[in-house]
Amino acid sequence: MLMLKADCPICDGVVTLPKDAEESEIISCPECKTRLVVTSLKKKNAILEEAPKIEEDWGE
């Protein structure tokens, strides 16, 4: 599988995804450090969106 690259929806920086990236995986933009979620993986395209903020009651 080829290395996928996608644009950060916040700063338009280039984000390189790991070879084994999966949909719904959380990654960070190397430029603006925003947490992003992989919403779609296709042959040469990946779509990223800003990940939801972590709430205090998660995991309770």
Give the start-end residues of each E strand in 1-60.
4-7, 14-17, 26-28, 35-41, 46-50
Res. 1: pLDDT tops 50: no
Find the angle CA(26)-CA(39)-CA(11) to the nearest 5 degrees. Answer: 70
Tokens representing 2 are 């080829």
Contact 28, 34 (CB under 8 A): yes
Which residue's entry shows tokens 């603006």? Answer: 32
Chain segment 17-58, per-residue pLDDT in tens: 988 889 999 999 999 999 999 999 887 788 999 998 876 665
The CATH classification number of 4-50 equals 2.20.28.160
Structural domain boundaries of the chain? Answer: 4-50
pLDDT of residue 49: 95
Write down the pTM of the prediction.
Answer: 0.78
Number of residues assigned to the chain:
60
